[in-house]
Amino acid sequence: VATNTVTGHASSVDINFGTATIGMGQGGEAFNIYDQMLRGVDYLATLIGGRPGSDKALATVWGINNGIGGSAYSIGGVAILMRDTAGYDDTVVLHEMGHYVVWEYSNTSSPGGAHTFSNCDLDIRLAFEEGWVTYWGNSVLRYHGLPRSNVYMRSNGGAAPGSLVRWVDLEDDQQYLCSGSTSEVNVFSVLWDMADGPSTPDTTPGVDDPQDLLDLPDEELWEVMATQMAGKSNISFETFWDEWFNPPLLNGFRTELIDIADHVLIEFHEDTLEANDTPATASFVPLDGSLIHNTFFSDPELDGEGAADSDLFLLQASSGLQYVAETTNLLSDGNTVLQILDSDGVTPLATNNDRSASDPSSLVDWVAPRTDTFYVRVTHATDVGRYGSYDLKISGQVPVDNDGDGYDTTTDCNDADINIHPGATETCDGVDQDCDGVVDNGFDLDGDGFTTCGGDCDDTNPAVNPGATEIPANDIDDNCDGTIDEVPQVDTVTIIKATWKRGPRKLVVEANSDQEPGVTLTVVGFSVMIWNPDTGKYTYTSPNKTPNPGSVTVTSSGGGSDTLPVQ
C-alpha cells in the first residue's frame, strides 16, 4: 500500500495524503490491532491515572504469514504475539492485552497452559486469570460505547460467512454451560455482571439479567486487582471474592454478589446446614442415599469473607450392618476427604481422599463394629483452594453375607469363614464355631456326662460314650474307642494321671497296660501315647492352649480302656 509521492515540501507544512483503503490481507490488520491497543491504553489510563510510561512499553507482533497459529502474551518479552489470522479479532487482541495489565499492574498465580471455553475443569488459578482478562478486554469495548460489547469473538481471518470460529456472550452465555469457578466462562460472566447494567451497549440494550442487580464502576473491580493481590499466592476467584469484602475495601453487596455467582454455581456462602463442624452440632442425614448439598464455606459473621470449613453428620449405625458414604458433584475447588469417626467424634475408623487417581470425590464402604452413634466428617483436601461445593449421600442398614454360609453380619460372628455361623458344629480347636459366645462348649446334648470334646462320638445317644460297655453285634461303637463290636477286652488299662495345667492350657496323661509295651495306647479324641521305657509308663502331652475336656478315656490296641476325670 502506498500513497502518491510529494517532494520538496517544507517540514513545517502539513501534507494531506488523502484517504487510502487497505483491504483485508493487504496490511489493514496491523492498523486495526493498533486501534485496539490504543483503545485499551485509553481505558487503562482511567484505572491507573494515566497512560503507561515507557518503562512499561508493550509491543505487538503480527504478520500475515508469520506462521503463528495461536495468539499469546509473552511474559518475558512484554509483547503480544498475534495469530496470523487474528488481525480483525478485536476481543482477542484485548484479551491478550489483559494479560499485560495483570502482569504489570496486579499479580497472578496462573500456571498457564491450554484452556478453552468448553473446559469446565480448569485449574482455578488459570480459570481466574483467563476469565479476568476476557472481562477486561470486553470492558474496553464497553467503555468506548461500542455495540455488542458483551460478545467475545474469534474468526479464521476470512470475511465471508462461515469464518466465525467461536464466540461467547459474557452477559449470559448458553453455549458453554459449566458450573463452578473452574470455568473461565463463569469467572468472566460474574465479573461482567458486576460492572454492566441496563445501559450497557450489548445485545439486549435496556435490559439486564434478573439475577444481576449490580451496575458498579469498573474502578471498584480494578481496585481489588491493583491493591489487594500483591504478596498473595494461589490467586483465584476465591482470592478476588475475599479481598472484595476484606478491609480496607469493604465493598459490600454480599447478597447481590451471591445471586450473581450462584447463577453459575459458584457457591461462596454457607450452606443451610451450617454450622455443623463439631459433634454437638452434627447434622442429621437420612440413610437412604438422598443427596445432601453442602458448601466448603464458613461465614458466621455474614460479612462475605469466607473461611475454611468442615462438615460433620450423624450416623446412627447398627452392629454388623454395611454403610456406604460418598461425595459427588464436586464444584469449584470442592476437593473432599471423607472419614467415619468413632462415637467420640475424633477417632477415625475409615478414611478416603480420592475415589480414584482421576476422581477427587470420596467413597467409604464400612461395616459398623457395634450399635452406636458414629459421625461422617467431610473436610477439604489439601489443595490450591479451600472453597467449593459437594453433595453427600449415605446408604446403609444393608446386612451382608460375605462368606456365603447363609448367615449375614447381624448374626454371623465371623463372616469371613463359611464354617463359622449359628448352628455350626463345635470342634475342639479353641474357636467358637456356633457363635454362641462359648468356645469349645461341646454341649453334652444327650446328658450322659461326656461331651464331644471329651470323646463322646455320638452326643445324641446317652448309651454311647467313652464309659459305655461295648455290645457285640450291634454295629455301634458303644465305647467310642474307634472300633465297632470289638472282641472282649484282653488287657487291663490304668490311667495313672490326667491333669490339665491352667497356665499353658496343656493336658498331661500317664497310663499303664498289663501288656505293655506290646500294645498301643490312645487318648481318645487326642492322640497316641508314647511308651517311655525309663519310667515304665505311657505318656501324652497336648499342645498349649488345649481346652480342658473334663475327662479322658485311654484305649488299648489290646482291647482294654480306662476313663478318669481330669484334675
CA distance 199 to 248: 30
Left, alpha or beta for 11 (phi > 0: left; psi -120 to 50: alpha)?
Answer: alpha
CA distance 505 to 439: 14
Grid cell 469363614 in the structure block, residue: 417
CA distance 192 to 215: 9
pLDDT of residue 442: 62
| CA–centroid distance for 353 within its chain | 4
Is the bond leading into 161 cis (omega within 30 degrees of zero)? no
* Structural domains present in the chain: 28-262 (no CATH), 279-398 (2.60.120.380), 442-567 (2.60.40)
Of the candidates 270, 103, 258, the one whose C-alpha atom is nearest the C-alpha of residue 194 is: 258
> Could you tell me the sign of the dihedral formed by the alpha carbons of 194, 199, 205, 208, in that order?
positive
How many helices (H) and strands (E) in the chain? 7, 20
| CA–centroid distance for 159 within its chain | 49
pLDDT of residue 443: 67
Whether 236 and 109 have beta carbons less than 8 Å apart is answered as yes
Would you state the cell numbers that stand for residue 550, as one nine-digit string? 473334663
Specify the DSSP element, H or E, that contains 294: strand 292-296
Task: State the DSSP string of 265-288.
Answer: T---S--TT-S--SGGGPBP--SB
Q: What angle do CA 209, 213, 217 make, to 5 degrees?
A: 110
| CA–centroid distance for 239 within its chain | 24
pLDDT of residue 163: 94
| CA–centroid distance for 5 within its chain | 73
CA distance 523 to 555: 7
Task: State the DSSP string of 464-531.
Answer: -STTSPPPTTSS--TT-SS-SSPPPP-S-EEEEEEEEETTTTEEEEEEEETTTTSS-EEETTS-BPEE
Per-residue pLDDT of the chain (567 residues; tens, 9 = 90+): 677 888 888 889 999 888 888 878 888 999 999 999 999 999 999 999 999 999 999 999 999 998 888 999 998 889 999 999 999 999 999 999 999 999 999 999 999 999 999 999 999 999 999 999 999 999 999 999 999 999 999 999 988 899 999 999 999 888 999 999 999 999 999 999 999 999 999 988 888 888 999 999 999 999 999 999 999 999 999 999 999 999 999 999 999 999 999 999 999 999 999 999 999 999 999 999 999 999 999 999 999 999 999 999 999 999 999 999 999 999 999 999 999 999 999 999 999 999 999 999 999 999 999 999 999 999 999 999 999 999 999 998 767 788 989 998 888 999 999 999 999 988 777 789 999 888 766 667 888 988 877 788 998 899 999 999 888 888 899 999 888 876 555 799 999 999 988 888 899 999 999 999 989 999 999 999 999 999 999 999 999 888 889 999 999 988 899 999 998
Of the candidates 325, 323, 302, the one whose C-alpha atom is nearest the C-alpha of residue 312 is: 325
Whether 559 and 491 have beta carbons less than 8 Å apart is answered as yes
CA distance 435 to 419: 11
pLDDT of residue 333: 95
CA distance 321 to 475: 49
* Beta carbons within 8 Å of 458's beta carbon, 6+ residues apart: 446, 464, 480
